[in-house]
Structure 1
Amino acid sequence: MKAQWWSQPFAPEGSAAAEGIVKQLGRPSLDPLTVLVREAAQNSWDARLPDGVVEFGVDLRVLGEKVGAWRNLLLPGPLTESNLNLDEALRPETVVLVISDRNTVGLGGPLRAGERASDDETPDFVQFLRNVGEPSDHQFGGGTYGFGKGIFYRLSRVGTILVDTNTAAGGPAGRRVMGAALGHSWYHKDRRFTGRHWWGQVAADDVPDPLLTGEADAVAEALGLPGFADGRTGTDIVVLAAGLGAAGSEPDSRERTPAEAATFITSSILWNLWPKMIPDERGRQMRFVVGVDGSSVAVPAPDTVDDLAPFVEALRDVRAGRGTGYSRTVPPKYAGSFAMAVGAAADSSRRLSVTAARPFEGPSHHVARMRIAELVVDYMPGPVHPDARLSYGAVFKASEEADALFAHAEPPTHDDWISKGLSGSARGVVLGARTFVQKQLDEKLGLGPQAGGSGGLGELSALLASIVPARLDFGHESEESDRGGSSSSGEGTGRSGGSFGGVPSRPGGKARLTGTPSLRIHQGNPYLVAPVRVPADSRVRVVSADVEVVVEGGGRESEPPLGAVVPQVMQWQSANGDVVVQGRSIQVPPGEDSDWYVYATYLPDAVVRFRVSQVVHSAG
């Protein structure tokens, strides 16, 4: 095997300088690691196979003992005048970032840019490694002109990447390994070079080609790359000497550690790629893992993250056709769909894997905007929810007819829809979409003008009165008292937080509240939910729950105001969700401890208290 670096000279008719390629990304407002995640996942989704789950992984590795193999394969680097100092970059402490996908088609097609692809293939290899600025070959794909790939080079301190791919086409050229670098234009004697470099198998014309089949396998194994021994198709992109960005704020900022970078990447995946984690109507989705030195952890499902659950629900409504259509009088007459879901403002996660790359502060009042590919473009802020205890997440998704028009409005990093510079239908669609979304938010939040000139807040309050827990307050710990030996009760005052736990119940004990009630969203509506434990017993028990308004001083409201809505217990649900019983009472058969949730409605501007009572029926 004879692999080496080759530096591209300027052609007599002109060439693209490396500086210009990297600068085409502009100056993104997003963190570079977020840009990387968005661009890489977009490429992987566009390259998905027809069936199966696209697996996407990011692994941060320290070269350590592998540094000798890296130096043996990649040195000597380009000439000194290029300022591409690989010798200094290849040290034991060097961090490499490996971005992998599987169940994708890989980077197939011709090996040389001047060759024509056959009818059944796309020139993915040359589009990624050799060419710049080619339009996307994928209908409704996330990419446009391929400038975003510059982020891979920008993240490398030496502008260098290594690509290992196994293509769905198979054959002798199906397995390929090649390196590439973007530096600065430079001179060697009187000859000018573009600053673009490639590493690979030397060809007769000195332009390198990728290492193929067995040689590609040998390189991947020597460098400790994931490889394709299992025969699956996909691509690994290795960013050499990766810059991981800053942790903390000035003047005390420092570079992230690999572990901190992995946490930030996990958070970026959650906030930018969560729609790809929700299976579509055909079951297509992406599965994400992030790790350090080969030890990886799956990214949590977005519908289990309180901050993201409303967005997930809104997307499902859009997919199911339950959203509100963005209609126009001129083509495209249907340009998108909007849906919104409510969440609890107090339920924001404190996990770093959620908060590290959170794109906004405080409770959500945002709209996730996306095209057909369902990659989040941005989070457009809307009015805050009129009820301070509530947040919302909404989704606006472009239609197939309008997708290309929204694509024209995106910068190379695909993180905004910019109307400036657009004209005709594209400008009208993009500007109209913003107005449409703002109107939808005003209507759904009761902020828009109502018939007769009255504001919408009164109507909203009346609507929420029967379903929304309004003011949550800290109350007393659960209390229990005997009632003639045949029943028992416990009580707890509504407040945020709460969970199952504590000491195991004793056999024959009393049903009791095991935590404090919390605000939760169930089937799109907010409720106050209290956890209850029913102890093990050999007898049948009837457990009942009541909820009451607490007045100032802690007493019970005996007579509600005339016409006022009274809070009610709506249902019981087993902790695993298998059993749902409507009403205030459940019959619990003999058996072990069981955990339940009690769902109740709640009045605005009030504090409520749950009470749990139990009646025991003797056996026989």
Structure 2
Amino acid sequence: MLGLRGLSQKDLADTVGVTPAAVNGWVNGRATPRSEKMLAIADALGVTGLDALHHRVPASAPDELKWIFRAAPADGGREGGGVAGFAFSASLDVLAREATQNSIDERLPDGPPVHSAYTLHELSGLHLRDFLDAVGWATVEEHIVSAADPAQKVGRVLRDGLELLHREERLVLLRVDDYHANGLTGPEFGDGRFARVVRRTLDSGKAGGQGGSYGLGKAALWAASRFGLVLVNSTLSTPEEGRSEHRISGRLELPWHRHEGSEYAGPAWFGVPDAERSQTARSWWGDDKTAARLYLTREEDAPGTSLLIVGAYDGSGRAEGLEGMYERLVDSLSTNFWAAMVGGRRADAKVRCSVAAYRNGTSVLPRTYIDPHEVEPARARAVQAFLDGETVEEVTDRKQVLQTEVLLELRARKDGTPAVGEGSHRAVLLIASADDQEPDPDHLTLMRSSRMVVKSKRVGELPLGHRAFQAVLLAGNATLDGTPEAAAAEQMLRASEPPDHNDWVGTEDLTATYERGARQKILEFKQGAEQKVRELLRPQQGEEEEDAGPVVLTELLRLGAPKVAGPRKIQAFPTVKSVEGDLDGTGAWDLIVTVRIPQQRKPTDALVIQPVPRFWFGSGPGAAVSWKEIIPLDRCELTPLGNLVCDPHATQVRFRAITDVTSHPVVGAMSRVSVDIRRAQEVVV
């Protein structure tokens, strides 16, 4: 408090009329001032008697708030925007997925399900002008104009956002609230939830087994703002500075820019200037009126955090207008968190999700609470049966849910952590029959502790005429068995997830943490789950369903391809059979690629192929990168132009290829990689 008021202990002692030693005792908790001295202290510090009595920081008046921008580094370095934001596409799908997962991770221990509430506000007219005034838009806009360089991706987004605001004179806000969560606890600048979210980049700080491991999830919030602007209001589960309500702050994420003769690194913070750290803004303790003007009013008293995205939009272009954004959020939450919204006798639901929309304070679309059994009837029934302990080992009724297991072979960690148990984890595979109205039947859905959908894919090579189904693979701590093997599997699977947490693959984290072969065990685990589904759906010898239907229809469903003479289907183009490899010590992908070669060619025809590596990150199209080196291994040779000429008699060729790190749009650990094969326009003699 003394620092905030610019006073020393001696200054306070002189003002109150005591010795510096007495003040030192008060500051360090060795003594407590008498009531009359407490009032004198409050007067000297310019706070209320209640603030002084409870040793809490006073609430700040709106006229104390400022935007403070980080000065550019002295070495002349420049950043064209927040690096973390480039790991995600600026879509509402990604936003809802990342923000809700973070809320689940912050759920209070032994508390009710966290409520993840999404609220859209469209502002125009007086409502818009009042909000812009409250957020200090005049200063923000000046810096956005300076940073909106059309030669940069971020600059083009900023310019487009400003032009839209001026042309339509309306602004969309999206507030993401969570309740029954920890809130942004911790000190202003030290280690804690507040600093990790508001001040730091690429700092997850999460305990083992929780959702994220890259510290990238929060970047999706800033990426979903046309201006890179997010405000926060938090109710803390653990008080900080004697307070727990209305901890408010804001962060603006701009690229490097020059404004009024000064150079700025890009980031800026909205708050009270810190008396001890020059050119730094602290969060402030606000009041109900200020929170309301900033559209940060929390609708429940439970602890948690509200994050307001200013200029919210769907960068993918799939959702436009208030109604379209509302529908997109409902769809994304339903698709990704239906399992987390299911509760049973053995475990509660982890989250409740809702969406609402307003236009200038008037309800346009009422708050909708998503019902998992309505949006995913078969899958939700499967998880419900597991959580209630009502699964079966042999199905005798269509409404029953079959439970079996799939093994994940664990690998030892490089840090010397000993192997656990038998070295394998027994994941739970659930299979439920699907109704005829099921929109996407025959899928296998993967998930771990948070029960967020990691990936859902259609199972191939199924028996012809099989009954529609949905399968769910619960791995790691989602199995509820509490064994060391489950905990070890949780960590291994977590390390295998890319930044989007949308698959289990080989990652730099997996390679760096586990002994050789971890990636292969992950792939075998997924393949084993699919194969188990196929085996369970394959009818046994002599087995027939009671309700199989008319004999003629049954026979038609069992028919394969007609066994008559005819032309064979010819593979016209080279195709990739397999891609294996991992990240090397430089961050490059080192791959072994096997390519199938089309037949029915003349042996004299020289087939020249061009392998093209492609990075996949976020939810957009893959980005082509370059090779550093291509090394032929089997039945192929390198051409002068860097392509591969195939042996005319080969049915497949193999080569090794290493990507060029300088061509990577993001670091290798933040991406997946694939290889496209094209016919090269090169004559080889």
Match of 1:343?
A: 433
Q: For 1:62-97, what per-residue CA distance to the aligned partner results, in whole angstroms no more than 9, with x for missing partners?
A: 013421221212222243423467976487521111
Match of 2:503?
A: 416
Match of 2:530?
A: 438
Give the 3 Å change call, closer, same or farther, for CA 24–14 of structure 1 in structure 2.
farther
Once the two structures are TM-superposed, the CA of residue 190 in structure 1 deviates from its matched residue by 6.9
Report the AA paired with residue 428 of structure 2.
F
CA contact (8 A) 2:350 2:450 kept: no
Match of 2:147?
A: 82
Match of 1:260?
A: 324
Query: Matched residues, percent identical?
Result: 21
Match of 2:340?
A: 276
CA contact (8 A) 1:311 1:340 kept: no
Give the 3 Å change call, closer, same or farther, for CA 15–413 of structure 1 in structure 2.
farther
SS in 2 for 1:401: helix
Match of 1:138?
A: 207
1:219 and 2:290 aligned: yes
Task: Decide which of 194, 197, 209 is 2:282's aligned counterpart.
Answer: 209
Once the two structures are TM-superposed, the CA of residue 434 in structure 1 deviates from its matched residue by 1.7
Report the AA paired with residue 284 of structure 2.
L
CA contact (8 A) 1:136 1:145 kept: no
In 1, distance between residues paired with 2:195 and 2:431? 44
Report the AA paired with residue 3 of structure 1.
L
Q: For 1:2-44, what per-residue CA distance to the aligned partner results, in whole angstroms no more than 9, with x for missing partners?
A: 2121111234479894624244415x5xx81111111111111
Q: For 1:562-588, what per-residue CA distance to the aligned partner results, in whole angstroms no more than 9, with x for missing partners?
A: xxxxxxxxxxxxxxxxxxxxxxxxxxx
CA contact (8 A) 1:200 1:208 kept: yes
Report the AA paired with residue 466 of structure 1.
E
Match of 1:497?
A: none
1:58 and 2:118 aligned: yes
CA contact (8 A) 1:5 1:199 kept: yes
Match of 1:236?
A: 306
1:8 and 2:70 aligned: yes
In 1, distance between residues paired with 2:257 and 2:243? 33
Correspondences of 1:85-104 after superposition (within 5 Å): 89=165, 92-104=169-181
CA contact (8 A) 2:382 2:432 kept: no
1:407 and 2:494 aligned: yes
SS in 2 for 1:317: helix
Match of 2:579?
A: none
Give the 3 Å change call, closer, same or farther, for CA 327–418 of structure 1 in structure 2.
closer
Q: For 1:588-614, what per-residue CA distance to the aligned partner results, in whole angstroms no more than 9, with x for missing partners?
A: xxxxxxxxxxxxxxxxxxxxxxxxxxx
Match of 2:133?
A: 72
Provide the aligned length of Structure 1 versus Structure 2. 427
Match of 1:296?
A: 366
Q: For 1:124-167, what per-residue CA distance to the aligned partner results, in whole angstroms no more than 9, with x for missing partners?
A: 11101110112332331111121121111111111111111111
In 1, distance between residues paired with 2:281 and 2:434? 57
SS in 2 for 1:376: coil
Once the two structures are TM-superposed, the CA of residue 310 in structure 1 deviates from its matched residue by 3.2
Give the 3 Å change call, closer, same or farther, for CA 39–16 of structure 1 in structure 2.
farther
CA contact (8 A) 2:410 2:488 kept: no
Give the 3 Å change call, closer, same or farther, for CA 441–41 of structure 1 in structure 2.
same
Correspondences of 1:450-529 after superposition (within 5 Å): 457=539, 459=541, 462-468=542-548
In 2, distance between residues paired with 1:131 and 1:258? 31
Give the 3 Å change call, closer, same or farther, for CA 8–314 of structure 1 in structure 2.
same
Once the two structures are TM-superposed, the CA of residue 329 in structure 1 deviates from its matched residue by 7.8
In 2, distance between residues paired with 1:439 and 1:389? 15
Match of 1:49?
A: 108
Match of 1:426?
A: 518
Match of 1:355?
A: none
Match of 2:234?
A: 165
In 1, distance between residues paired with 2:552 and 2:119? 43
Stretches of structure 2 that go unaligned for 5 or more consecutive residues are 1-60, 149-157, 392-402, 412-418, 477-486, 554-685
Stretches of structure 1 that go unaligned for 5 or more consecutive residues are 118-122, 249-254, 350-362, 447-456, 474-620
Match of 1:148?
A: 217
RMSD: 3.1
Give the 3 Å change call, closer, same or farther, for CA 435–292 of structure 1 in structure 2.
same
Q: For 1:169-226, what per-residue CA distance to the aligned partner results, in whole angstroms no more than 9, with x for missing partners?
A: 13544231111111211234775422111111122223111121xx243321223333
In 2, distance between residues paired with 1:105 and 1:314? 27
TM-score by length of 2: 0.57
CA contact (8 A) 2:463 2:537 kept: yes
Match of 2:582?
A: none
CA contact (8 A) 1:54 1:286 kept: yes
Give the 3 Å change call, closer, same or farther, for CA 277–93 of structure 1 in structure 2.
same
